Amino acid sequence: MTVPNERAAGMASWLPPLVRPEGTDHMRLCDSAYWIATKGGTETFNLCNTPVWEQAYSQLLGRISSDEVAITGVRDDGQREKIAGYRFANIGVLYPWSDNVLSDDLHFSDDPYLCADAYLDEYHWQRANDRLQSRRGIRWANLMVLKSDILRWWPFVAPDAEGVRKFSPGGKTAAAPSHQRQGAKSAAITDAVAAIYPDGVPSFEAKQTRNAKLAKWIKEKTGLVVSSSSLRDWFRAHP
């Protein structure tokens, strides 16, 4: 999300746990850039420090433009499709957490530019996400890349889920306290329920089956491990 720096400082605390490029499915473009910028969660940086984002996106877009990282996006008709890598060669970028201003050359150009957003939650993601757009509108939204491609080129070793580092706007880091981890787990369960059960959990589905699906989704998407008791408590709080 491109916002003024004074707002970015407050919004940065909303970042979800680091997404690991594990498995054969896709991950959000912004998550892959965050993975690269933090070297797999082993380094910290000021989230408002645009040059760090520039370096991460430069590496990422270089691999995409040479077709070494596959990327897909959603057209305006709702269909997801693979996007040719050359479209990302030497492309203009609006970076996350920055107050950089779109130049007139890009703003009035027919050529697309990348609007790089930061994932906050599913609600915001459906309204503001990584996208290729031009003055004529959005060409592809919800940009995603293959996890296996990201892991191939940036095989960093991430901290364990219980020790996922929190990155503050000032670049300070610490192992997340238990109450923060619980908040992250609750947010992850909310996202998992919305993704797997958009119309609500069927009344006929066994709790054990439901919990297994949710735990698997959360582990794959965020790296967090949620227990049956955490899921039970979440459903009690969200009847």
Q: What pTM did the predictor assign? A: 0.61
Q: Which residues contact 174 (CB under 8 A, 6 or more apart)?
A: 165, 166
Q: What is the pLDDT of residue 45?
A: 81
pLDDT band at 195 (very low <50, low <70, confident <90, very high): confident
Does residue 81 have a pLDDT over 90? Answer: yes
Does residue 26 have a pLDDT over 50? Answer: yes
Q: Which residues contact 206 (CB under 8 A, 6 or more apart)?
A: none
Q: What is the pLDDT of residue 86?
A: 93
Distance, CA of 57 to CA of 98 (rounded, Å): 14
Per the CB < 8 A criterion, the answer to whether 155 and 148 are in contact is no
- Nearest one of 27, 26, 38 to 154, comparing CA atoms: 38
**pLDDT (tens digit per residue) in 214-232:** 988 888 777 778 888 888 8
Q: Which residues contact 82 (CB under 8 A, 6 or more apart)?
A: 70, 71, 72
Q: What is the pLDDT of residue 124?
A: 67
Q: Which residues contact 236 (CB under 8 A, 6 or more apart)?
A: none
pLDDT band at 185 (very low <50, low <70, confident <90, very high): confident
Query: To the nearest 10°, the Cα dihedral for 214, 118, 165, 39?
Result: 110
Does residue 146 have a pLDDT over 90? Answer: yes
